[in-house]
Amino acid sequence: MKSASHLLPDSAIQLQKLGYDCLVETGSGMVAGFSDDQYKAAGVEISTNAEELAKTSDVIVKVLPPSETEVKRFSSSKILISFFYPGTNEALLEIAKLKIETHYSLRRIQECSMEMQKNLSTSSCP
Write the pLDDT tens digit of every residue in 73-123.
888 788 888 777 777 888 888 888 777 766 556 555 555 555 655 555 554
**Residue 73: what pLDDT?**
82
Upper half-sphere CA count for residue 48 (Cβ side, 13 Å): 0
**Residue 123: what pLDDT?**
45
Does residue 38 register a pLDDT over 90? yes
Domains of the chain: 2-121 (3.40.50.720)
Pick the more confident residue, 8 or 41: 41
- For 76-105, give one letter per residue: b (16+ CB within 10 A) or e: eebbbbbbbeeeebeebbeebeebbeebeb
| pTM tops 0.75 | no
Portion of the chain with pLDDT greater than 70, in percent:
75
Amino acid of residue 63: V
pLDDT average, residue stretch 9-35: 89
